[in-house]
Homo-oligomer: A and B are copies of this chain.
């Protein structure tokens, strides 16, 4: 058996503690699998005295992760600090510069600096592995980088944020408002005190940028993502989606088009019969469309200490075996520039919910504006009943006038045509509140 692999873990919170537990629990199996003993010899933490669910006896303690990264007593550096800058970035750079392989779960760091770090790892002939950075315990990085090596990928999309999926699932199941579900998620620890990063779609966008690079062999470009969060999804939308055979999910989607690569994060209608539509609660899921394998879906836990640690340990085991894949599948220099396909050219179906006054001709006017742009409708659903409130009466309609909720599902069309049609409808003055528009992801 070769020499032991000496691992240094920076950050021993929930995930870091779980990594040390897994490495200890599976020590014999990992030695058998990799041909080497894997030993955590050092850790860094802000508070070395803190009570932890991990046996760190015999580990050297560092207050400074950068000092740990530079220590000649470790062969592999595990970064679990978080954040795109500061000690996370500096310590990873330091470890790579010292010729140590790095395993990280830090999607923000990768989205911001993944390419420079990958280039540095290549230059030093060490590994930079980040399975845990996307979709927690789901081995999606390995699947894209190795498992589908013979495929040309057309599209990769998924539920990449458990907080959003938990909120949307609860809204549907229990008919609770977004605000109620968010408060529950915060109480259960599924959402942060400031939930913007999750519910605004930014966490999903970081992860999507990594998947895009792996799937299409292009440079990471998080700035080329159109991002919408789930804040404006209403119970009315969820109910209407259900009636029409859809479910609403916050998806990250990267898709190859004639113009380049579309990267989008937004609430999306998915048909209930698709595997991804059935993924409820805090689970994550990723679907890949590729020329040879056609369609592959992976479903599993997107977060949690042990699930994330599972991905970290798999990376450590590969490195212990001597596997050295290029971090993004191909050498960094071979990654192409991402050509951004504008979302306004996106082709797809649309869900459009409008509050239409119950007066003769109102709906005909809307339908005409759609037809003028060649937008054909797959279905039309009306829900009657809400009375226009008095505080909107100043916008040209009488208080108390009846409003109908009209839901349109379009056949595949171009996004800019939908936007133009809606602008024309607004200009007609028929409706006085903006339409709710949700993209439908094709199967």
Contacts and interface: CB of A to CB of B under 8 A. Distances in A.
A171 interface: no
Give the copy number.
2
Given A301-B293, A330-B33, A318 B146 contact: yes
Interface stretch (A22-30, A262-270, A377-385, A415-423): A22-30
Interface string A29-40: 110111000000
A292 interface: yes
Contacts of A316: 150
Interface stretch (A104-112, A302-310, A362-370, A388-396): A302-310
A223 interface: no
B146 A317 contact: yes
A152 B29 CA distance: 9
Contacts of A29: 149, 152, 217, 330
A150 B306 CA distance: 10
Contacts of A309: 150, 292
A296 B295 CA distance: 17
Nearest to A318: B146
Interface string A246-264: 0000000000000000000
A331 B296 CA distance: 30
Given A139-B147, A150-B310, 11 more contacts: A23-B150, A25-B152, A29-B217, A29-B330, A30-B150, A33-B149, A139-B143, A139-B148, A143-B143, A296-B301, A297-B300
Interface of A: 18, 22-23, 25-26, 29-30, 32-34, 131, 137-139, 142-143, 146-152, 217, 273, 275, 278-280, 290-301, 304, 306-307, 309-310, 312-314, 316-318, 321, 323, 325-326, 329-331, 334
The 5 A-B pairs at the shortest CB distance, nearest first, are namely: A150-B313, A139-B147, A149-B317, A292-B310, A296-B300
10 contacts: A26-B151, A26-B152, A33-B149, A137-B292, A139-B143, A149-B313, A150-B312, A150-B314, A290-B310, A294-B306
